[in-house]
Homo-oligomer: A and B are copies of this chain.
Amino acid sequence: MLNVGVDLGGTTIKAGVVNEQGQIIKQKAIPTGAERSCRAVVEDMADLVLEIVAEAGYSMDEVASVGIGSPGAIDPVNGLVVFAANFADFRNVPIVDIMKEKISVPVYLENDANVAALGESVYGAGNGCKNTVAITLGTGLGGGIIINGKIYSGGLIGGGEMGHQVIVADGIRCTCGRKGCWEVYSAATALVRMAKEEAEKDPASLMNRAHEGDISQLNGKDVFDAIAEGDAAAKAALQTYAHYLAIGLGNTINVFTPEYIIIGGGPSAQGSVLLDPVMECLGEEIFGGSLRTKVVTAKLGNNAGIVGASLLGTVQ
């Protein structure tokens, strides 16, 4: 049987028909139009599902389930988006019920970070292991926790916020209101902040040459480009970043002891350039001293959302 995965984003809705080997055999994307009513957005999503199944040459009878990954706080049991920022009208939206008006097979809903973690866990870097944690280093630090092969998102709605654990008491203020969250020190944006600080201290740093010397324009690629050229200031920034990233990873390992931690998002594309200093720091952070969790970078890239969503029906 096939499953369909939908990756609902603030800008784009992507959907894919996924076979039993986790391969996307047909996918398509449409603009979200997040400024519209929730019903209009969800109806477009249902039409997109019907369309790609037909275009792939199948009927809905050959589809076992449809899964949706959505941003925001999700109530998977009742199929609701409780709240999603960046959408004009997403508050207690019964996405599953609206989908079911057009879709005859079971429909499941989960948070997008959780769904991507499930995809990476089953068909990506997690190698099919049942206990994994996936984090994404982006503007923020998102996380998804897989326990016994299923998404774990807390006892009450809105848990699993791994990025919002304080690792620096009384540290830098986070967007969430707390001070010193892991996100503030280990999101991709944190590396850029640390690099700017190092570049300002070291006028000779290559990072000061990017963007005609406008340091406010510095981005992650500039930092890793400078590291590739041996720039000391950029390397110092990465070292600081790796230190904090390892602290949060150490916390995650001591509590969850997952088989894999999968790191996704921009900096993860650097592979060992990122992982080597992180692993060096991580050695000091493990309870009992022996690191059994494998720390790896993500494999599925932008497809993790579709693949993970397509799996929701299979892990209930």
Contact = CB atoms under 8 A, between A and B. Distances in A.
Interface of A: 73, 129-132, 145, 147, 152, 154-162, 164-169, 171, 176-178, 180, 185, 243-244, 247, 250-251, 254-259, 284-285, 287-289, 292-293
Contact of A156 (B147, B156, B161, B257): B257
Contacts of A161: 254-255, 287
Interface centre among A147, A243, A284, A285 (most CB of B within 10 A): A285
A156 B293 contact: yes
Contacts of A258: 154-156
A255 B160 contact: yes
Query: Chain A: interface secondary structure?
Result: loop
B257 A155 contact: yes
B284 A178 contact: yes
A158 to B, nearest CB: 6
Contacts of A178: 250, 284-285, 287
A73 B254 CA distance: 13
A26 B4 CA distance: 57
Given A73-B288, A155-B257, A244 B169 contact: yes
A154 B257 contact: yes
B169 A168 contact: yes
27 contacts: A73-B288, A132-B155, A147-B147, A147-B155, A154-B255, A154-B258, A155-B259, A156-B259, A159-B255, A159-B256, A159-B257, A160-B257, A161-B255, A165-B165, A165-B250, A165-B251, A166-B167, A167-B167, A167-B169, A168-B169, A169-B171, A169-B185, A176-B287, A176-B288, A178-B284, A251-B251, A255-B255
Contacts of A243: 169
A155 B126 CA distance: 13
